[in-house]
Amino acid sequence: MTKTVIPMIDLAAQHAEIEEELLQGFAEVMASGRFVLGEPVTAFETELAKLCEIRHAVSCNSGTDALWLALQALEIGPGDAVLCPAFSFFATAAAIVRVGATPVFVDIDPVSLNLDPEDAVRRAEATPNLRAVVTADLFGRIADLGPLERWCRERDVPVIEDAAQSIGATDSDARPVGARARVACFSFYPTKNLGALGDAGALVTADTALAERISSLRVHGESEPGVYTSFGLNSRMDALQAVALSIKLRHLERWTRARRQRALHYDALFAERGATPVGVPITEGALALQTPAPLTEPGRHTYHRYVVRVAPERRDALVGALADEGIATEIYYARGLHQQPALAEFAPREPLAQTERAAREVLALPLYPELPIESIERVVGVTTRVLAEPPAAGARRG
């Protein structure tokens, strides 16, 4: 019998549900004859700002462009240093290099997998030319800045929040994504919780002057019609993407609840089979897997990815066994940013122990709003069966 494939995400299922809304919105754009910026884009920007409870939202072509626009608008460039976590997508650090600045990599907290505030402060104090801090909200959990927030505020060092994975999340004080940062950057890549039908991105900020600079930079640096006062990008959002995002935004809260329900179901099933959450001491005989650390209300994790940690010597075999059963997995991320060849010159002298350990252990399992509960039970069943078996002779240890 052919096994049903369980993908990481099923966009066809999502789009089938809202197909009529999408087609009607696209027809209106086609009738208008305006396909770049315009009223649909302005409407989406207004809706995004409202979601984040912040004054300004500026759309752009991608989350990567959003990071570049934030750094450029803050006039960060050659000779400047910018702190960023070593465990994130490549664009987090690449945007810093693209403006001519130097990334200073910070280790992560082993529980949240986000930037470690204590390590960040230590490295910030040792970096006299520090001009900004970029944080990343990994897998849908807002980074806790701890003592770093006060350190930056006292020295007027802006925080740029890479919120590519955390739309709809709230922090431990119930504040929405973007509330603690000078500017927050979003990606609407199709697989994100709020995904376009291609590339798209945006920034949110309470700073009116900064929003105006970003708006200028996204259209080549044009400050008024026909007048260019700086060198920017061609990074405008398409009207068709804005329509799709506005329609999807109306469903985002429901989709977020569905993601959280499925993540908690994973948690419960794994707990029944001997797994413990990250941060809880592992007892003898426990399953060689840890589930994501829980987040206390009013903080809200949006589970862009459901990422477990597996004993390094068991991960490869588990990935193979799940693939044999038609179950997709992904590793986010297989190496730290400081271990990427393109960023090797910026690597710190000492190892980033928690980042490097996470890279050996993390594994993302299928999670999306439409994921059937029986598929979750199947994933957990295969996973626990494989991990209950003795490791193969010669398996690599972490």
Query: Which parts of the chain register pLDDT below 50?
Result: 397
Rounded to the nearest 10°, the torsion over CA 279, 281, 287, 288 is 70
What pLDDT score does 279 carry?
Answer: 87
Residue with tokens 């400050």: 223
What is the distance between the alpha carbons of residues 40 and 45, in angstroms, rounded to a whole number?
9
C-beta separation of 127 from 320 below 8 A: no
Q: Hey, what are 366's tokens?
A: 């299928």
pLDDT at 280: 87
- The answer for residues whose C-beta is within 8 angstroms of residue 375's C-beta and 6 or more apart is 4, 6, 366
Residue 240, φ and ψ in degrees, nearest 5: -65, -40
Tokens of 388: 């209950």
Say what angle helices 312-324 and 373-388 make with each other, to 10 degrees.
130
Residue 278: helix, strand or coil by DSSP?
coil
* Cα(292)–Cα(209) distance, integer angstroms: 39
pTM value is: 0.94
Whole-number pLDDT of residue 2: 65
DSSP 3-state of 40: helix
- Residue 296: predicted pLDDT: 84
> 3-class DSSP state for residue 398?
coil
Is 363 strand, coil or helix? Answer: strand
Is 300 within 8 Å of 357 (Cβ atoms)?
no
Task: Give me the helices (H) in the chain, please.
Answer: 11-17, 19-32, 39-51, 63-73, 90-98, 117-125, 147-155, 208-217, 239-249, 252-272, 312-324, 353-361, 373-388
The type of residue at 339 is Q
Cβ(247)–Cβ(239) under 8 Å? no
Task: Return d(Cα 101, Cα 71) in angstroms, integer.
Answer: 9
Count of CB atoms within 10 A of residue 104's CB? 23
* Concatenated DSSP letters of 284-350: TT--SEEEPPP--TT-B---SSEEEEE-HHHHHHHHHHHHHTTB--B-TTSS-GGGSGGGGGG--SS
Number of neighbours of residue 23 by Cβ within 10 angstroms: 10
What are the residues whose beta carbons fall under 8 Å from the beta carbon of 186, sequence distance 6 or more?
48, 63, 66, 163, 164, 167, 194, 201, 202, 203, 204
> 394: exposed, middle or buried (C-beta count within 10 Å: 0-12, 13-18, 19+)?
exposed
Cα Rg of the chain, angstroms: 22
pLDDT of residue 33: 87
Q: How far lies 389's CA from each of 100, 325, 386, in Å?
A: 50, 17, 6
What is the pLDDT at residue 192? 98
Instruction: Output the pLDDT for position 1.
Output: 54
In the chain the domains, ranked by start, together with CATH numbers, are 11-249 (3.40.640.10), 253-388 (3.90.1150.10)
Question: What span, in angstroms and rounded, lies between the C-alpha atoms of 77 and 75?
Answer: 6
